[in-house]
């Protein structure tokens, strides 16, 4: 057997880092699993970039000068370019992949060496971005090195309970509320800075809808992945409605769509959004401007009331009104966290909420003066 070339050895090292990252992420008993995942995927991407450039005979070391050609050295070794540099070179025309990697570069700087106990909550919030980064990595290495280097046969769908039970979903939602304020602000501001085209791209954040199938077909895979872009328009609409409606109830004899699971009235949406942002957000003003601006639902007395943006809003036929999804609430909270995002979401100038009165101030007002 021929001795592996240097680029192949680098690629193997890269894949080992990726496997370790996933192993850490999927270990339910591991503390600081997200930090470990980000660090090792950071290294995996760096080695993968280097392997590709080495294979192509391209130089990726840091130059001090072109004429004469002089390199920067660290501990006697030529200094390699950073992962940030590679991302800009490789994904100049792929905004979603670049945004995903730059998100994790910034997030690593935020959380590395912190011991606040927020790792588990943060992992729940950025799960989709983690899946997207891993799939982007797989696509990158198989594109330049070939399908024989795929990790698909070694990385399988993890066994979990989280979102499959009511208690699991409740626990996950409760967990997300424990994030420190600076991390919530970072996540909101980063997402608010992305256009819809990037933020909705699965290469930036991968969102899965899992459907339970009745029956037991031994000849089939127990888990099959269907990409939304491979569906017909009718199938895409059905999939979006299922995702927006919170899932399916499965029985032995039939599959029944749960139409109002995890839905919110406009007033409930406005209350949740306003409590999470520094601005006022009222159902009759900001909420109304939001749905009109983004064509979330048709206007009153429209002949086609069901013509909604299914991922955000559904028409409740029984009550002839509209309900909004968790995805809609989360999007509004992220967008409206700062002034520019608020304007983009509603088309309005943000109105800051009044600062809460201090205990001392309230005591002064109640007593009519100071005691003593």
Q: Answer yes or no: is 367 within a domain.
A: no
Mark whether 99 and 131 lie in a shared domain. Answer: yes
Mark whether 134 and 247 lie in a shared domain. Answer: no
Q: What is the mean pLDDT of residues 127-136?
A: 88
3-state secondary structure of 22: helix
Burial class (CB in 10 A: 0-12, 13-18, 19+), 17: buried
Q: What is the mean pLDDT of residues 222-227?
A: 50
Mark whether 10 and 143 lie in a shared domain. Answer: yes
The answer to which of 32-36, 179-183, 281-285, 292-296 has the lowest mean pLDDT is 179-183
Mark whether 13 and 40 lie in a shared domain. Answer: yes
Could you give the CA distance from residue 197 to residue 65 in angstroms, rounded to a whole number? 40
Mark whether 110 and 39 lie in a shared domain. Answer: yes
Could you give the CA distance from residue 251 to residue 264 in angstroms, rounded to a whole number? 26
Q: What is the mean pLDDT of residues 169-190?
A: 66
The answer to which of 106-120, 245-259, 293-307 has the lowest mean pLDDT is 245-259
The answer to which of 75-84, 219-228, 349-358 has the lowest mean pLDDT is 219-228
Q: Answer yes or no: is 40 within a domain.
A: yes
Q: What percent of the chain has pLDDT over 70?
A: 72
Q: Answer yes or no: is 88 within a domain.
A: yes
- Summarize pLDDT for 301-318 with one digit per residue, the tens: 888 888 888 888 888 887
Q: What is the mean pLDDT of residues 214-243?
A: 57
Q: Answer yes or no: is 324 within a domain.
A: yes
Task: Say which residue, 163 or 263, is predicted with more confidence.
Answer: 263
Q: What is the mean pLDDT of residues 107-122?
A: 70
Mark whether 285 and 321 lie in a shared domain. Answer: yes
Mark whether 248 and 271 lie in a shared domain. Answer: no
Mark whether 253 and 307 lie in a shared domain. Answer: no
Mark whether 170 and 287 lie in a shared domain. Answer: no
Smallest CA-to-CA distance from 97 within 151, 35, 49 is with: 49
Total number of domains in the chain: 3
**226-230, 323-327, 349-353, range with greatest mean pLDDT:** 349-353
Mark whether 86 and 105 lie in a shared domain. Answer: yes
Q: Answer yes or no: is 372 within a domain.
A: no
The average confidence (pLDDT) of the chain is 78
Give me 63's structure tokens: 């130059």
Sorted by sequence, the CB contacts under 8 Å of residue 14 that are 6+ apart come out as 43, 44, 45, 46, 47, 48, 51, 141
Q: What is the mean pLDDT of residues 37-56?
A: 94
Domain range for 247 is 231-257
Q: Answer yes or no: is 44 within a domain.
A: yes
Q: Is the model's pLDDT at 243 over the cut of 70?
A: no
Q: Answer yes or no: is 206 within a domain.
A: no
Mark whether 336 and 289 lie in a shared domain. Answer: yes
pLDDT band at residue 83 using 50, 70 and 90 as cut-offs: very high
Mark whether 249 and 294 lie in a shared domain. Answer: no
- Summarize pLDDT for 2-21 with one digit per residue, the tens: 678 999 999 999 999 999 99
C-alpha to C-alpha distances, 361 to 353, 357, 366, 368, nearest whole angstrom: 18, 6, 9, 11
Q: Answer yes or no: is 209 within a domain.
A: no
Q: What is the DSSP letter of 353?
A: P
Q: What is the mean pLDDT of residues 138-156?
A: 84
Q: Is the model's pLDDT at 216 over the cut of 60?
A: no
Q: Is the model's pLDDT at 250 over the cut of 50?
A: no
Could you give the CA distance from residue 19 to residue 354 in angstroms, rounded to a whole number? 50
């Amino acid at each position: 057997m021929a001795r592996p070339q240097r680029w192949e050895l680098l690629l193997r090292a890269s894949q080992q880092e990726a496997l370790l990252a996933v192993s850490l992420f999927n270990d339910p008993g591991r503390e600081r699993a997200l930090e470990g995942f980000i660090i090792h995927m950071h290294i995996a991407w760096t080695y993968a970039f280097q392997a590709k450039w080495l294979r192509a005979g391209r130089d990726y070391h840091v130059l001090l000068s072109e004429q004469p050609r002089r390199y920067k050295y660290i501990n006697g070794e030529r200094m390699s370019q950073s992962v940030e540099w590679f991302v800009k070179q490789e994904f100049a025309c792929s905004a979603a992949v670049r945004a995903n990697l730059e998100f994790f570069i910034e997030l690593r700087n935020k959380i590395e060496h912190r011991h606040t106990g927020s790792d588990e909550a943060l992992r729940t919030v950025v799960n989709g971005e983690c899946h997207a980064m891993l799939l982007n990595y797989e696509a990158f290495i198989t594109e330049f090195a070939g399908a024989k280097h795929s990790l698909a046969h070694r990385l399988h769908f993890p066994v979990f309970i989280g979102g499959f039970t009511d208690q699991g979903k409740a626990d996950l939602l409760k967990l997300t509320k424990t994030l420190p304020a600076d991390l919530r602000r970072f996540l909101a501001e980063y997402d608010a800075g992305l256009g819809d085209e990037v933020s909705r791209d699965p290469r930036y954040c991968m969102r899965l809808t899992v459907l339970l199938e009745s029956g037991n077909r031994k000849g089939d895979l127990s888990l099959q992945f269907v990409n939304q872009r491979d569906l017909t328009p009718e199938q895409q609409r059905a999939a979006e409605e299922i995702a927006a409606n919170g899932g399916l109830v499965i029985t032995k004899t039939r599959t029944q769509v749960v139409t109002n699971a995890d839905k919110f009235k406009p007033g409930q949406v406005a209350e949740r959004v306003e409590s999470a942002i520094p601005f006022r957000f009222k159902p009759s003003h900001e909420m109304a401007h939001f749905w009109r601006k983004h064509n979330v639902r048709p206007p009153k007395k429209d002949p086609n009331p069901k013509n909604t943006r299914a991922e955000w809003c559904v028409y409740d036929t029984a009550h002839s009104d509209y309900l909004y999804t968790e995805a809609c609430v989360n999007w509004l909270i992220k967008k409206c966290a700062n002034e520019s995002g608020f304007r983009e979401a509603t088309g309005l100038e943000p109105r800051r909420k009044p600062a809460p009165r201090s205990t001392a101030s309230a005591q002064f007002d109640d007593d009519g003066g100071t005691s003593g």
